[in-house]
Amino acid sequence: MRQVAVALFALGTAAGCGAPPPPPPVVDERPAPAAAPFVAGTPVLRRGNGGEPETLDPHRAQSVPAQNILRDLFEGLTAEAADGSVIPGAAAHWDISRDGRRYTFYLDSTARWSDGVPLAAEDFVYSLRRSADPATGSPAVQVLSPIANAQAVFAGHLAPAELGVRALNPRTVQIDLENPTPYFLSLLALPPAYPLRRANVEAASDTFTRPGMLISNGAYVLAEWRVGSRIRLLKNPHYRDKDHIAIGEVHYYPIADQNAELARYRAGDLDWTYDLPNARLDWLRQQFPEALTVAPWLGTYYLGFNLTRPPFSDAPDLRRALNLAIDRELLVDKVTRFGELPSFNITPPGMPGYHQPRPVETGWAQAEREAEARRLYREAGYSAERPLRLELRYNTSANHKKIALAVAAMWRAVLGVETTLLNEEWKVFLQNRQQKRVTEVFRGGWIGDYNDPYAFLEIFRSTHRQNDTGYADPSYDRLLDRIAAEPVPVRRFRLLSEAERRLLAAQPVAPLYTYVTKRLVNPGLKGWQDNLMDHHPSRWMYFAGGGSTPDDPTPVAGGEGP
Amino acid sequence: MIRFALRRLLTAVPTLWLLITVAFFMIRLTPGGPFDDERALPADIEANIAAHYHLDEPLIVQYGRYLGAVIKLDFGPSFAYRDWTVNELIAAGFPVSALLGALAVIAALVLGTLAGAGAALRQNRPLDHTLMAFALSGISIPNFVIGPLLILLFALHLGWLPAGGWSGARREMILPVVTLALPLIAYIARLTRASLLEVLNSNYIRAARARGLAMHQVIVRHALKPAALPVLSFLGPAIAGVLTGSVVIERIFSIPGLGGHFVQGALNRDYTLVLGVVVFYGILIIALNFIVDLLYAWLDPLIRYDRR
């Protein structure tokens, strides 16, 4: 399924048979008025997007649907290539100081806002401050935490102006970091670091995200937003790399129901689905072998133990027994079934530069794991006469329910554990998990914000708000501090590995598998690549052999019929 | 009649107040809040957001603030759709739900009455049995089964109609309207049949026949109006039901109506949106019931509200 990115440039403006040729690229170097007529583009890319974005303010957005759209509308100092690697964005190049704590970015001289005004260093200073300002209420603000003084600004102890960001001159932005952060460049490609234009925001603080008002700097501009129906983007005629953008128009459809989305794809209304109904895997494999796309995702599905209450407080061996008794291969083969990767690690595999510690049970056969599980279970004082009784909580979802049922059956078969399954509505579940007053075992899942093990390990810091297991180990916290301060990558990765080993040995969680993303993609759509972050900006995509136009809703030729 | 109307309007006010109060405290008693998410916010940022939406004030103060705003028909900003106000969301969603519901009700009225009358006039003949068999299946098969079946047949196999979406094209409306109307058609057909049969067997119809009036004249002039009464009393709640109950249809056909806000709003703990939709529907249902009561008086000479 991987495509060669170079082909994009060869086929950059490919318009296929049937579709009218694309309009000539708008070459106008002068700043245009705000209401510059945007040329309606072809071809059109139609993407299912799971749900309605909660906002298109990049500093307030958090959901995946919102981030997908924002990635097309805006561009940070850095950007992401089709394979997810970090490439220059609004900044053409940058210097990093020897100690890794000072980044100097030089803006691309062709970087412009969608109304033609050139981007200035001051725009980024304003935007990063706004994003970090607690008054903005950014839910994803942790992304900016490596910047000097960020934590104090988030907490309101320092004014946003104290954030370690300054404009050296109109084209140069300097950012100071608290600690050397090797993944810092990748954070700048995320929505909390996108620029907003001060005059645009301040003129209409409640409505500046509306079509016709939003000024953005990405490959696309917002043309239409009908809540619950669709969001339409048009190619930005002032985008610095506009000549290499093949898709003229992108439609995002907030279809929450997976079966409805599948029907829309089959009817030829979509080129890209957000998700797929799990139950229809075999049928999908048969019907859409070319369009079905499954790829590893930067996320781990796990079960968490509440370490603050019996029976799991001070019982690492009991937790280990439950962990070993779960047959992960069986789980992914027969229950989840989309090629999820069985895992004993909290970090997903494939992070560049990182050597995952392999817990010893990874190399065992399932029978050996179960024998060890029985031994530990007996030693913890449980038996057939005196079985462990526990509650397993999960939030409402057919998939979570199936997994919980399967795990409960495995625990019963191997150890004789009596599990009560408790299904809870999402917000109730979250509250219970965070309060740690009633939970025993709970479903957990974590998707990394950035492609580094730290994204997974930091949530087990004793003071982290996401630490729903209540795991509190001062040595582990000190390790995290050392990792944050370590400037040498090799040494840092070694420390990360040590931290994960320590965490897994304590068994606060039983990791089950690494997530996969699954969707149907029009086989004629090229230019995108599988990547761990599941970030797929429309700017890299093109149709081999054309695409549909706004007036011609018929499906693309070459796709699979119903 | 005017006194009756005024009395009804006056009782509507405490009814609405009760509705707002119960809904307000119920949603606030539900565990979890609008800004709880898998990724917990830094404490100070959470506090800031809460302060921005006045969620940090005592509940009773918030309640007072809300009542004050509702009187001005200002439902406040949505918590889950932060770029929009609840008024904007209702203004965007209600016309869609209303159009969908109105088309379904009109279709149901026309087809249901025709089918019911046809069945009544051919009582116990094949036409009657066929129509009533259809009606029974229309009532028993839920619309979350019919909807996907219709999509499968007309959108995917035959390719005649779109599989969903709502961009304003008439073709997009056919499947959802049919899905929404089918159970209504069935219900109205059965009601019409039963009440028409009862009316046709009454003495004044026999008298009309005895005077030598033709059958079609008897039906149109004397039978249809009284036979419509049960249908009318069904229609008030049915319209409200169609408007609120199209949640399933909206989801199946990806329609941006108001029903989805009800469900998703509750799941998101979007306090203002849920309350806004509840109050809006409350007003709507009270108004519909009022209209039905007035129509009753017009249809049935025995009902006069002003008589003591």
- Model confidence over A56-112: pLDDT tens digits? 999 999 899 999 999 999 999 999 999 999 999 999 999 999 999 999 999 999 999
For tokens 């072809």, what's the residue? A42
A62, B35: Cβ pair inside 8 Å? no
- Three-state DSSP at A221 gives strand
* Listed residue (B236, B265, B238, B271) closest to B93, CA to CA: B265
Question: Considering only CB atoms, which chain B residues are within 8 Å of A254?
Answer: 254
pLDDT tops 70 at residue A10 = no
Tell me the two tokens of residue B117.
């009358």
Q: Residue B92's closest CA among B255, B254, B287, B247?
A: B255
Residue A47, classed as helix, strand or coil, is strand
Q: Which residue of A has its CA nearest to B166?
A: A229
* Ramachandran quadrant class, A337 (left: phi over 0; alpha: psi -120 to 50; beta: rest): left
Both structure tokens of B269? 């703990």
CA distance to partner chain B, nearest, from residue A373 (Å): 31
Q: Is B39 on the interface with A (CB under 8 A)?
A: yes
Residue A487 near residue A530 (C-beta atoms within 8 A)? no
Q: Chain-wide mean pLDDT for chain A?
A: 88
Residue A37 has pLDDT above 50, yes or no: no
Cα–Cα distance measured from residue A111 to residue A173, given in angstroms and rounded to the nearest whole number: 14
Of the candidates B88, B27, B96, the one whose C-alpha atom is nearest the C-alpha of residue B247 is: B96
DSSP H helical ranges for A60-182: 64-73, 121-132, 150-154
Among chain A residues, the shortest Cα distance to B38 is held by A430
Average pLDDT for A214-220: 96
**Residues B133/B134/B139/B144 CA torsion (nearest 10 deg):** 130
A154 and B42 within 8 Å at the Cβ level: the answer is: yes
pLDDT exceeds 50 at position A558: no
The two structure tokens encoding residue A524: 């004629």
Q: Which of left, alpha, beta for A530 (phi over 0: left; psi -120 to 50: alpha)?
A: beta
Cβ–Cβ of B84/A227 closer than 8 Å? yes
Sequence-distant (6+) residues with CB within 8 A of B156 are A263, A266, A267, A562, B163
- Asked if A263 and B33 come within 8 Å (Cβ–Cβ), the reply is no
Q: What percent of chain B has pLDDT over 90?
A: 24
B249 in A contact zone (CB under 8 Å): no
Tens-place pLDDT, residues A458-490: 999 998 888 999 999 999 999 999 999 898 889
Hey, is the C-beta of A259 within 8 angstroms of any chain B C-beta?
yes
pLDDT at A552 over 60: no
pLDDT in tens, A292-350: 999 999 999 999 999 999 999 999 999 999 999 999 999 999 999 888 999 999 999 98
CA distance A150 to A175: 11
Burial class (CB in 10 A: 0-12, 13-18, 19+), B58: exposed
Overall average pLDDT of the A9-24 stretch = 35
pLDDT of residue A21: 37
The pLDDT assigned to B245 comes to 56
Percent of chain B scored above 70 by pLDDT? 96
DSSP chain B: -HHHHHHHHHHHHHHHHHHHHHHHHHHHHSSS-TT--SSPPPHHHHHHHHHHTTTTS-HHHHHHHHHHHHHTT---B-SSSTTSBHHHHHHHHHHHHHHHHHHHHHHHHHHHHHHHHHHHHTTTSHHHHHHHHHHHHHHHS-HHHHHHHHIIIIIIIS--S-SS--SS-HHHHHHHHHHHHHHHHHHHHHHHHHHHHHHHTSHHHHHHHHTT--HHHIIIIIIHHHHTHHHHHHHHHHHHHHHHTTHHHHHHTT---SHHHHHHHHHHT-HHHHHHHHHHHHHHHHHHHHHHHHHHHHH-TT--TT--
Is the dihedral angle over the CA atoms A446, A447, A450, A453 positive or is it negative?
positive
In this structure, the number of other CB atoms found within 10 A of the CB of residue B233 comes to 15
Q: Would an 8 Å CB–CB cutoff place A264 in contact with chain B?
A: yes
Q: Read off the pLDDT of each residue in A13-19 and give the average, rounded to a whole number.
A: 34
* pLDDT given for residue A6 in this prediction: 33
Mean pLDDT of A32-40: 38
Q: What is the pLDDT of residue B301?
A: 67
For residue B242, the model assigns a pLDDT of 81
Q: Considering chain B, what is the average pLDDT of its residues?
A: 86
A263 and B156: CB-CB below 8 Å? yes
Q: Which of A115-124, B168-177, B182-191 has the highest mean pLDDT?
A: A115-124
pLDDT score of B41 more than 80? no
Q: Mean per-residue pLDDT for A16-44?
A: 43
pTM: 0.86
User: What one-character-per-residue DSSP string does A490-519 give?
Assistant: HHHHHHHHHHHHHHHHH-SEEEEEEEEEEE
For residue A178, give the DSSP letter.
S
pLDDT, position B216: 80
Nearest Cα residue to A105 out of A84, A90, A127, A123: A90
Per DSSP bridges, beta strands A249-253 and A230-235 are antiparallel
pLDDT recorded at residue A9:
32
Q: Does residue B147 contact residue B246 with C-beta atoms inside 8 Å?
A: no
Q: Report the range out of A293-302, B8-17, B198-207, B290-299 with the highest average pLDDT.
A: A293-302
Is residue B305 very low, low, confident or very high in pLDDT (cuts 50, 70, 90)? low
Residue A355 CA to residue B32 CA, distance in Å, equals 39
Q: What string of DSSP letters covers A18-41?
A: TSPPPPPP----SPPPTTPPPPP-
Does residue A20 carry a pLDDT above 80? no
Contacts of A428 in chain B (CB under 8 A): 31-32
* d(C-alpha A367, C-alpha A179), whole Å: 45
d(CA B224, CA B215): 12
Q: Are B170 and B162 in contact (CB under 8 A)?
A: no
Among A407-416, A552-561, B161-170, B223-232, which is the least confidently predicted range? A552-561
The predicted-structure confidence for B93-139, as pLDDT tens digits, reads as follows: 888 988 899 899 999 999 998 898 888 888 888 888 888 888 888 88
Instruction: Return the closest-CA partner of residue A217 out of A91, A85, A80, A119.
Output: A119
Question: What is the rounded distance in angstroms from the CA atom of residue A399 to the CA atom of residue A387?
Answer: 27
Lookup: tokens for B53: 């939406």
**What integer is the mean pLDDT of A408-434?**
94
Question: How large is the average pLDDT for residues B166-170?
Answer: 83
Q: Does pLDDT of A457 surpass 80?
A: yes
- Bridge partners of residue A304, in order along the sequence: A442, A509
A334 burial type by CB count under 10 A (0-12 exposed, 13-18 middle, 19+ buried): exposed
Angle between helices B126-140 and B86-121 (to 10 degrees): 160
A426 and chain B in contact, CB less than 8 A:
yes
Of the candidates B112, B252, B79, B244, the residue with the CA atom closest to the CA atom of residue B172: B252
Name the residue with tokens 């006069």: B304
Instruction: Please tell me the predicted confidence (pLDDT) of residue A69.
Output: 98
Average pLDDT on B70-76 reads: 90
Structure tokens at A162: 């104290």
Which among B32, B52, B157 is the nearest to A430, CB-wise? B32
pLDDT at B244: 65
Complex ipTM: 0.86
C-alpha of A162 from chain center:
29
Residues on chain A touching B81 (C-beta within 8 angstroms): 52, 54-55, 227
Mean pLDDT value across residues B22-36: 88
Asked if A120 and A171 touch (Cβ cutoff 8 Å), the reply is yes
Task: Spell out the long-range contacts of B284-292 with Cβ–Cβ below 8 A and sequence spacing 24 or more.
Answer: B284/B240, B284/B243, B285/B240, B286/B12, B286/B15, B286/B16, B288/B236, B288/B239, B288/B240, B289/B236, B290/B5, B290/B8, B290/B9, B290/B12, B291/B236, B292/B232, B292/B233, B292/B235, B292/B236
**pLDDT of residue B189 exceeding 60:** yes
A residues 238-257 closer than 8 Å to B (CB): 253-257
Please give the pLDDT value at position A38.
38
Give me the mean pLDDT over the B178-206 stretch: 88
| C-alpha B176 chain-centroid distance | 14
Please report the pLDDT score of residue A198 as a whole number.
95
- The pLDDT of residue A240: 95
Selection from A59, A45, A90 nearest residue A235 by Cα: A45
Angstrom distance (rounded) from CA A327 to CA A410 = 7
pLDDT for B229 equals 82
The answer to whether B256 faces chain A, any CB pair under 8 Å, is: yes
Is residue A456 scored above 80 in pLDDT? yes
Of the candidates A534, A512, A517, the one whose C-alpha atom is nearest the C-alpha of residue A345 is A512
Asked if A231 and A53 count as a contact pair (C-beta separation under 8 A), the reply is yes
Residue partners of A91: CB distance under 8 A and separation at least 6: A77, A78, A105, A106, A107, A108, A173
Note whether A227 contacts B81, CB cutoff 8 Å. Answer: yes
For A529-542, the pLDDT digits (tens) are 999 999 999 999 99
- pLDDT category, A546, cuts 50, 70, 90? low
Question: Searching chain A, which residue's CA lies closest to the CA of residue B53?
Answer: A137
Confidence of residue B302 (pLDDT cuts 50, 70, 90): low
How far apart, in whole angstroms, are the C-alpha atoms of residue B249 and residue B272?
24
- Would an 8 Å CB–CB cutoff place A52 in contact with chain B? yes
Q: How far apart are CA A482 and CA A478, in angstroms?
A: 6
pLDDT at B208: 83
What is the C-alpha to C-alpha distance for residues B112 and B185, in angstroms, rounded to an integer? 4
* Cα B306 from Cα B308, distance rounded (Å): 6
* Of B105, B129, B121, nearest in space to B185 by CA: B105
- Provide the phi-psi class of A463: left if phi over 0, else alpha when psi is between -120 and 50, else beta: alpha
Reading the block at residue B81, the tokens are 């759709």
Give CA A195 to chain center in angstroms. 20
Average pLDDT, stretch A252-280? Answer: 92
Chain A CB contacts of B77 under 8 Å are: 206
Using the Cβ of A267 and the Cβ atoms of chain B, whether some distance falls under 8 Å is answered with yes
Contacts of B90 in chain A (CB under 8 A): none
